[in-house]
Structure 1
Amino acid sequence: MTDQTPDRDALPVPDYDHLPTGSLAHRIRSLDASEIGALLAYEEAHGDRLPITQVLRTRLDEVESGAELSSGDASAVAPELAPDPQGSGPVSPDTQGPVQNPPSQGVPTNPAQPRR
Structure 2
Amino acid sequence: MTDPARDALPLPDYDHLPIGGLQSRVRSLSTAEVEELLAYERTHADRLPVTEVLTTRLDQLRAGAEPTSGDPGALRPEQGEGRRGSPVSPAASAHPFSPPPHGTPDQRGRPKGDRREP
1:60 corresponds in structure 2 to 58
Does residue 72 of the first structure (1) align with residue 79 of the second (2)? no
Letter in 2 for 1:16: Y
Q: What is the TM-score with the length of structure 1 in the denominator?
A: 0.64
Does residue 40 of the first structure (1) align with residue 38 of the second (2)? yes
Secondary structure at 1:59's aligned position in 2?
helix
Q: What is the TM-score with the length of structure 2 in the denominator?
A: 0.63
Cα RMSD after superposing both structures:
2.5
Q: Is the 8 A contact 1:11 1:38 kept in 2?
A: yes
Does residue 22 of the first structure (1) align with residue 20 of the second (2)? yes
Q: List gaps (5 residues or longer) in structure 2.
A: 96-118
Aligned-partner Cα distance in 2 for 1:78–1:42: 22
Aligned residue pairs, count: 85
Q: Is the 8 A contact 1:14 1:77 kept in 2?
A: no
User: CA 1:79–1:54 in structure 2 vs 1: closer, same or farther (change >3 Å)?
Assistant: closer
User: CA 1:10–1:43 in structure 2 vs 1: closer, same or farther (change >3 Å)?
Assistant: same
Larger relative contact order (Cα-Cα within 8 Å, sequence gap ≥ 6): 1
The structure where helix makes up a greater share of residues is 2
Q: Is the 8 A contact 1:11 1:39 kept in 2?
A: yes
Post-superposition offset of 1:22: 1.0
Q: Is the 8 A contact 2:17 2:76 kept in 1?
A: no
Aligned-partner Cα distance in 1 for 2:38–2:76: 23
Give percent identity, aligned residues only: 51
